Chain A
Amino acid sequence: MDRRRLNVFSSPRDLLDGTERLSSVSVVHERLNEAIFSQRTTVGQITSIIMQDAGLTARLLRIVNSAYFGFPRKIDTISRAVMVVGTQQLHDLTLATSIVTLFRSIPERFVSMETFWKHSVACGLAARVLAGLNRESNVERFFVAGILHDVGRLLMYDKIPDLMDKVFTRAAERPQPMFTTEQEIIGYDHAAVGAALIEAWKLPGSLEEVVRYHHIPRNADRYRQEAYVIHIADAIAHSMQCGNSGEFFVPPIDEDAWKILGLNPGFLPQIFDLVDRQLEGVLNMFHKGG
């Protein structure tokens, strides 16, 4: 009852009202989505949609030429990138880079944007490796889910900073995960806010479900396996202490996650290593030249 008096935003959806950032993602996403899923779309048409945005064009070229893909030859045109990387993958990466540019600043007393995205990208890279080990198709969508898993927190820092101050104060006093403290003080957590954002952006339902359940993957329905991938990728990013989105400890790990993903503890050093090798390069690509 107490928290309802404190919080005028009684549901995650209320938090989205008046958020002008919502529309810009939908425009990029919807136009590309229409083009990709239309049978008649040519590589040239997709190329021209992307090239209308100079910043996006530059970012995508940096990504396809990075260690992330590791192509032997330089790819210097978007049309070549579309052909080599594939339209769905390029679409997913477009989405990730577009969202990163939406949130440019939050109150520094919580976390810096740099540390926030470092954690998110590390989670995305770990998720991509885990998905590859599981022979999932289109591993880029796991990268995007990792990038977005904590995006709800950015909106909370921005819209309800006073309540987030209270969350940080209580989190320092009580040995419990941050998302539990968010639920106690605000009435919902960053995973619910992230899911509401993704829904408002009209992104795929799989992303919404994975983000909503990344702390409690066993509650996911259609995309439980995907939610487990992000759950473990998040734990790996925390263990690597690559950046931070607000939580200072490794969140609780579902005891069945390892078995469900068919993991072997021997994979973990290599996952750390792969994330380390790609992290700085991917972060540079996201931030340089916005």
Chain B
Amino acid sequence: MAKIGINQLCEGMIVEDTVTDLRGTILLQKGTVITHNGIKILKTWGILEISIDEQSAAVHSISQESHVDARIMMEAAAKAETLFQHADRNNIFVKELIRLATNRIAMSWTEGG
């Protein structure tokens, strides 16, 4: 379990332990996916740090800072673009899917040698 300061929290991380205010009122349930709104709630109630599911924190940092060779990353991005040729590539959700698919392709090529 990783305790993370409120300023290091990112959208998409998963809450490990239910967060309450001083009186015990639940602010964020265990298992909640952190959103912009969730971070705002925590800041409003003066919460300084919360427990985050380790794997969700790890996955987040990999996708944020994957140190894959830039050339491999570009080739992976080209493959992902082909994969999404029938989808609206300007849609923000599709963009996120393309980003994740690109990372997966790049990682599989890197791991595969």
Q: Could you tell me which A residues sit within 8 Å of B by CB distance?
A: 133, 175-177, 235-236, 238-241, 249-253, 255, 258, 263-270, 272-273, 277
Of the candidate stretches B20-28, B43-51, B66-74, B96-104, the one touching chain A is B96-104
CA distance A265 to B100 in the complex (A): 11
Contact B104 A241 (CB under 8 A): yes
Contact A249 B85 (CB under 8 A): yes
- Closest CB of chain A to B4's CB: distance in Å? 15
CA distance A201 to B14 in the complex (A): 39
Q: Hey, which chain B residues are within 8 Å of A258, CB to CB?
A: 91, 93
- Closest CB of chain A to B45's CB: distance in Å? 21
CA distance A272 to B12 in the complex (A): 11
Which residue of the partner chain, among B33, B92, B95, contacts A270 with CB atoms under 8 Å?
B33
Chain B residues 43-100 with CB under 8 Å of chain A are 55-56, 59-60, 63, 82-88, 91-98, 100
> How many B residues face the partner with a CB closer than 8 A?
31
Asked if B6 is an interface residue, CB under 8 A from chain A, the answer is: no
- Closest CB of chain A to B79's CB: distance in Å? 10
Contact B33 A266 (CB under 8 A): yes
Contact A253 B88 (CB under 8 A): yes
9 contacts between A and B (CB under 8 A): A239-B101, A240-B104, A241-B104, A250-B86, A264-B35, A267-B12, A270-B59, A272-B100, A272-B104
Which residue of the partner chain, among A175, A241, A252, A266, contacts B87 with CB atoms under 8 Å?
A252
Contact B94 A270 (CB under 8 A): no
CA distance A249 to B83 in the complex (A): 5
CA distance A266 to B87 in the complex (A): 19
Contact A249 B11 (CB under 8 A): no
Asked if B34 is an interface residue, CB under 8 A from chain A, the answer is: yes
Q: Hey, which chain B residues are within 8 Å of A253, CB to CB?
A: 87-88, 91, 93-94
Which residue of the partner chain, among B34, B92, B101, contacts A241 with CB atoms under 8 Å?
B101
Which residue of the partner chain, among A177, A265, A269, contacts B86 with CB atoms under 8 Å?
A177
Contact B86 A268 (CB under 8 A): no
- Closest CB of chain A to B38's CB: distance in Å? 10
Contact A239 B33 (CB under 8 A): no
Q: Hey, which chain A residues are within 8 Å of B63, CB to CB?
A: 269
Q: Hey, which chain A residues are within 8 Å of B100, CB to CB?
A: 239-240, 268-269, 272
Beta-carbon nearest neighbor of B62 in chain A: A269
